[in-house]
Amino acid sequence: MPLKTILVFLDCPPAGQPRARYAANLARRHGAHLVGVYVAPSGWQGDHASCFARGQDAIREVIERHKAEETSASQAALQSFKALTEREGINFDFRIIREGDANEDGKLHSLHADLVISGFPGPGGLPYNWSPEDMLLATGVPLLIVPETWNSNSVGEHIVVGWNASREARRAIADSLPLLIAARSVCVVLVDCDDNARDGQTPGADIAQYLSRHGAKVEVEHTRSADHSVADVLQMAVQRHNGDMLVVGAYSHSRPRQTLFGGVTRSLLSHVAVPLLIAH
């Protein structure tokens, strides 16, 4: 399925500019509609002194000041996003959701996108109190995390895919297929495949053939973890192949009321060095 709608969570400029540019480049490349979602921060954050305001006039003044700050920040985010999308010549929507409503409204907006782009998990990167687990479990939409330090103009040119013949890995490939087809190179990395019976007699051959039939320029690499974690091995593969995106499945262990990411995914999330696409 082609990428037709991409959603990006925005920060107030200039902090959110690199992520917004990345999303705009991706939308232009795939002819997609870009939805910018700005989570308006509460003006009360860090303003402990206002809690001591007394009297109707003083309280009214504090409330009005906070509203003005929120409006000013939202307008700055809108103008910055509008200028960027018009410069790139792409269709866009800009939506503002209040921080207190971000949990439900963020899910609602994300449900109607082919891909969600966010920053590194933490303040500003995702809606308040959200995590990648929340995003994937609530929507099922693949999540592309763009590090705040990422300043390369390369967008999905050289993609590394972590493959272990699991359902999650298969889902990640299906969700990222438009990106893989458009990439100049795709490297499917199998770690310790000799220990995985699901990989078959020729590990990686079948998934490489599948991708090739879709038009991806793919190669397969077998590697051993030795004294390194699987997450570290994948990161090293990205460096070795000059990768500008890493695609993995959100490996997990089900529990009665929640799903927890496995060690590989959590390790990758703890240090997002290149844009990381995760799917579940």
pLDDT averaged per 10 residues in sequence order, the chain, 280 residues: 92 77 95 93 53 55 69 86 94 87 79 91 59 78 89 92 92 96 97 77 92 98 90 92 93 43 69 87
pLDDT of residue 192: 87
Query: Which structural domains are found in the chain, ordered by start?
Result: 5-141 (3.40.50.620), 158-279 (3.40.50.620)
**Residues 224, 231, 219: CA angle, nearest 5 degrees:** 60
Parallel, antiparallel, or unpaired: how do β-strands 143-145 and 276-279 relate? antiparallel
pLDDT of residue 161: 97
Distance CA 195, CA 188 (A): 17
Count Cβ atoms within 10 A of the Cβ of residue 197 and give its class: 0-12 exposed, 13-18 middle, 19 or more buried. Answer: exposed
Give me the pLDDT at residue 199, please. Answer: 72
